[in-house]
Structure formats: structure tokens, C-alpha cells
Amino acid sequence: MIINIARKELKTVFASPMGWIILSLLMGGFGWMYSDGVDNYFQVMSGSIRPAERVGVTIFVGQTVYGAANFLMTVATPLLTMRLISEERRNQTLPFLFSAPITLTEIVLGKFLGLIIFLGILVVYIFVMLSTLNIWADIDFGYLLGNSFGLMLLVGSFSALGIYFSSLTNQPIIAAILSFIALFAMGVLSTYFASDPNHWFHYISLNNHYQSFTRGVIDSSDVIYFILFIATFLTLTIRRLDSDRLSG
Amino acid sequence: MALNNNSKVTHTLEAKDLSRLFGINHAVKNVTFHLNKGEVLGFLGPNGAGKSTTMRMLTGNLAPTEGSIRVCGIDIVERPKEAKSNIGYLPEMRPLYKELTVDEFLTIAARFHNVNSRNIRKAVEAAKDKCGLGHMSKRLIENLSNGYQQRVGIAQAIIHEPEIVILDEPTVGLDPIQIREIRKLIKDIGKKHSVILSTHILPEVEMVCDRVQIIDKGSLVFHGSIDDLRQQRKGNKLLVGLSKPPVTKEILSIEGVSLVEKVEHGMFRIHIKSDYIPAEEIVAISIKKGWGLFHIAPDITSLEDIFVQLTQMQPK
């Protein structure tokens, strides 16, 4: 049933121009970052840089693209999550889901999965795009896989947070603004506290836990952090929908 | 309503002592009723009487504060998944994904209601056939007229051939021709499924339903067959027109008359005590005394009047 909900979400996202526009803009953005990165690599590396500080093409281009992905996803995910529940609330289509033999957990997980599949297209796209470097260089696939995995977890967390904010209101745009502010604030705060690596905020900061992935390292504590983050917000969303049923 | 164990088999839906509080307001209060297999039950009441709240509780969209609901013998709070699979529901605001085509939407509805993937196409075709949507398959729901959108709403409610179909105000906002078509459709659906139809339009209940219950201010004030409701409208009243009326006392003195009400233009509404209506006596006396009788007829209360009477009585 979760799959059926996810299919419905994908169908509706592709039935509107919104899905296609976001997909094409992001793909365009990543493509541009990629070609820009390759271009810069030769300029920087052929210059006066000391041999000890030279990095491989995978890391150089990868950093450019994945760095941009982190930022672009912060902007794009709220635009995708905003409609998930609040639009159904506004169009009064939630009873369609609630009166079908589907549990609230299945509804929320299905919606989450649908979005993850949509965003997964982008993550796979970036991976394939960077893999093309392998045609003329010997690239580090471990680095790419680590980054892809991390990016997937990161957008998963963005999505879970966004779905929760979407369940709070019947105005999609408010849901988008709220989740964008939350994500943006987290980014700003982690830069603010960057000078103090032992500050408690680093334990709850998404960006901080994402750092190891950007080096191509998969740290189990970071993986668990992201999974917990996702689980927390999805549970809160389920609770929020359940309170609709209880309090009317 | 006393229910014995034998009758349970024929009841597809049972609501017992259903109450729902919003804050301190009782939206629905101690509502008990049942739905028999293969009948169309009209759920009648003025706006804000608690119809939609009851419907939402019956379909698992709203948790009852008190009371229980059993769908085909399954408690909807304890086993919501199984109970809900026996229900098709069209809320007052039809829940349509307007960016999809009719076929796409109905396919999703079939999937959500656990229609076997091999039978989905068949189910979609059957539902479209029943609702007269055959030629609309590839149209976006958004571009359909109000009446056709309503048909799509009904189609999604019957796509999984549920035991019970619950329709909340299905004819609101439609033009008279569409209303007739939708009513006919509901009648057809009633042949195969048990239907609960909520409405505030009395003639609709009269045309479509086998049984009716009237809800007002959250409580049931009447339940019975359509014939029971019709009986109420006959009543023991005569409407008499007199051009030279006497004092009411004189009319009251006629055997069997219990009350005389003066209506405008020399008309009197005469209430009769017994089953026997002394029309002949009234005619004879009024001719003898020269009251100038120009009209005498049974006073038929319209269904609207009964409705108003029932809903304005304080429920005990």
C-alpha cells in the first residue's frame, strides 16, 4: 500500500508543471556546476598550485557539485514538500485517503517514499554525470557513492521536515516558507557555531553530520543520526494527522 | 432500538450511542441507528444538524467521543482497515485530484481500496459504466462540469463494490437535470449496495430512500419508513372556507372538532379528534346556519412542514 501511495504522489507531481520545472532547473543547475568544475580544474591545477595541495578531479568537481546540491536542495525540497499534505488539506482530498483501508503510517510513509524517489532521480543523475569523468580519468567511485548516499540521507531529512511542516497548515506556501526557514536557520547556526567544535548544536546540526559524507566517509553514527531525524519528523506527521481524526 | 442477535446479520452498519463533542458543543449526541442490507437510508436534517459529522464518524474520518460503530460486524475503531474496506464514501466536498484524468483517478481509487491489480481495469470500466462516464475517460477531472465531477466522486465510492456506500449531500450545487440524473444513479446503486444518503432536501429522500431518519441539533428526532413519514402529512385536519364565518365557538361545538385555527381570507383549519372526519356534518351545519361555505378539503401538510415541525420540536 505504501508503494501505491508513492505511485500516486509521483503521478500527481508529474501531472503538474511544478515537478518538471524543479527537475529541469535542478538538473540544469547541476550540469552547469559540473561543467564549470571541470573547466576550473584545469585552470587551477595547471596554475601555480603546489603539487602537495593538488587534488584529484573527482574530489575537485565532486566538491563543487555536491556543495551546490546541498544548497539547491535546501531551496528545492520545501517547494516539493509543501504541497504533500497541505494541498490535500486545502483541496479537501484527505478524506479520500482516510476513508480508504490505509493506515496513517502508510499514508505518510508512502508520501515520503514518493518524494524520495523523485529526489532520488536527481541524486542518481548527479552520480551518473560525475561518473562520465571516468571516460578520461580514473575516478574514485567510493567518493561518489559516499556522497550520493549522504546526499540521499540529507534530502530525506529535508523531506521529512518539510512533510511535517506541510501537515501543520492548509497553505502550501506557508509550509514552504516554514520549512525553508527551519533548514536555512540550521545552516546559518552551524556556520555561526563553527568556531566551537564542541558546541551542543553540532550534535543536532544536519550540516555537521553531512560533513563526513562529503569526504566520502560513511560514518555509522551519522547514518543513525539521519535515520533518527527522518523517523522523528515522520512520526510527528503521523501524530499530527491522527489528531485531525481525534479532534476534528 | 432493541436489536437481537438474529437481526445483526442483516444489518450492514450499526451505530450505537454515537456522540461527538467539539469543545463543549455536542455536534452529535447519542445517535443510534442501523442500516439494513440493500436499503437506501435517508439521513435528513437542516444544515449544521450533525449529518456530516455523523458521516465522517461512520467512515473513520473522525473519532467518536463516545459510542461504537460496527461495519458488517467489524468495529471501526478497533479494526479500521477491515471495516473501511466495506465502505465507499463521497464526502460533501468531493475529494478529487483534479490534475488527473478520470481513468487515472479511478485507477488510484481502485488500488487504494485493494482491488486486485488484475481486476483494476475491469473495476474502472464497470464504475464508469454505472456512472455514465464512459466517454470521459481521458478528460482531466478539472475540465469536467460540476455534474460529471460528482459522478466521478460517486464512481470512486463504488469502485471496490463495497457493502455500504455513504454519500454526503451528493446533489448540492447541481442543476435540476443533473440532480435528476444523480438521483437515478443513487437509486440504481441502492439495488446492489446499502446506501446512506445525507441531504437537507426532503423530496430527494422521498424519491430515493426506503427509510428515513431525521437529525436535528445532533439528535435523531424521527426514524421510520417513507410511508411513516407520509402518514404524518395526512393528519386529521380540514381546511374550510367560510364567507360569513360564525364565532369559533360555534364551529368547536360540532361533534369531533378539537381545535379551530383561523387562517387568512376566511379560511379555517379545523383539527379533528378522532379518525372519523365529520365533513358531512360541517357542510350540513354551515348550510343550515348560512355560513357561506365555499371550500372544504383535507388539509395536507407538506413534507416541508413536517420537517420543520420535527426539527423545531425540542428533542427529549
- For residue A93, give the nearest of B60, B87, B97 by CB distance: B97
State whether B61 and A99 contact (CB < 8 Å): yes
**pLDDT at residue A48, as a whole number:** 67
The total number of structural domains in chain A stands at 1
**Identical topology for domains B5-231 and B236-300:** no
- Select from B53, B52, B58, B63 the least CA-distant residue to B34: B58
Give residue B161's identity as a one-letter amino acid code. Answer: E
ipTM score for this prediction = 0.86
State whether B82 and A101 contact (CB < 8 Å): yes
**pLDDT at residue B55, as a whole number:** 92
- Please state, for a pLDDT cut of 90, what percent of chain A lies above it: 56
Instruction: Give CA–CA dist A186/B84, Å, rounded.
Output: 42
- Select from A60, A70, A76 the least CA-distant residue to A152: A70
Question: Which residues of chain A does B114 touch, with a Cβ-Cβ cutoff of 8 Å?
Answer: 1, 101
Question: Which residues of chain B does A15 touch, with a Cβ-Cβ cutoff of 8 Å?
Answer: 99-100, 104
How confident is the model over A211-220, as pLDDT tens digits?
Answer: 888 888 888 9
Strand ranges, E, within B176-247: 194-199, 211-216, 219-225, 237-242
Q: Which grid coordinates are listed for B86?
A: 466495506
Residue ranges of the alpha helices (H) in A91-135? 94-98, 104-131
State whether A11 and B100 contact (CB < 8 Å): yes
Residue extents of the structural domains in chain B? 5-231, 236-300
Task: Count the neighbouring beta carbons within 10 Å of the beta carbon of residue B103.
Answer: 17
Task: Count the neighbouring beta carbons within 10 Å of the beta carbon of residue A62.
Answer: 25
What CATH fold (topology level) applies to the domain B5-231?
A: Rossmann fold (3.40.50)
- Select from A244, A42, A48, A81 the least CA-distant residue to A178: A81
User: Chain-wide mean pLDDT for chain A?
Assistant: 89
Instruction: Give CA–CA dist B48/B295, Å, rounded.
Output: 40
Is the model's pLDDT at A198 over the cut of 80?
Answer: no
Indicate the pairing of strand B164-168 with strand B87-90: parallel
Question: Which residues of chain A does B120 touch, with a Cβ-Cβ cutoff of 8 Å?
Answer: none
Nearest residue of B to residue A106, measured between CA atoms: B112
Residue B104, chain A, CB below 8 Å: the answer is yes
How confident is the model over A160-174, as pLDDT tens digits?
Answer: 999 999 999 989 999
Instruction: Give CA–CA dist A188/B239, Å, rounded.
Output: 83
Is the model's pLDDT at A134 over the cut of 90?
Answer: no
Q: Which grid coordinates are listed for A204?
A: 543536532
What CATH fold (topology level) applies to the domain B236-300?
A: Alpha-Beta Plaits (3.30.70)
Contacts of A233 (CB under 8 A, 6+ apart): A157, A160, A161, A163, A164
**pLDDT at residue B5, as a whole number:** 45
Shortest CA gap A231–chain B (Å): 23
For range A58-73, the mean pLDDT: 88
**pLDDT at residue B3, as a whole number:** 42
From first to last of its 316 residues, chain B has per-residue pLDDT tens of 344 444 445 788 989 999 998 888 888 989 999 998 889 999 888 888 888 899 999 998 999 999 999 998 899 989 999 999 999 999 988 999 999 999 999 999 999 999 998 999 999 999 998 888 888 889 999 999 988 999 999 999 999 999 999 999 888 888 888 888 888 889 888 888 999 999 888 888 888 888 989 888 888 888 888 777 776 665 677 888 888 888 888 888 877 787 888 887 788 888 877 667 778 888 888 888 888 888 888 776 666 677 777 776 554 4
| C-beta separation of B17 from B32 below 8 A | yes
How confident is the model over A6-39, as pLDDT tens digits?
Answer: 999 999 999 888 889 999 999 999 999 999 988 8
For residue A72, the surrounding DSSP H or E stretch is helix A57-90
For range A135-156, the mean pLDDT: 90
Instruction: Give CA–CA dist B48/B27, Å, rounded.
Output: 8
Q: Best interface-test mutation with A: which of B108, B115, B159, B172 has the largest number of A CBs within 10 A?
A: B108
Residue B21, chain A, CB below 8 Å: the answer is no
Indicate the pairing of strand B211-216 with strand B257-263: unpaired
**pLDDT at residue B8, as a whole number:** 46
| C-beta separation of B206 from B51 below 8 A | no
**Is pLDDT larger for residue A110 or for residue A67?**
A110
Shortest CA gap B57–chain A (Å): 9
Let me know how long chain A is: 248
Question: Which residues of chain A does B108 touch, with a Cβ-Cβ cutoff of 8 Å?
Answer: 4, 7-8, 11
What range does the domain containing A209 cover? 2-247
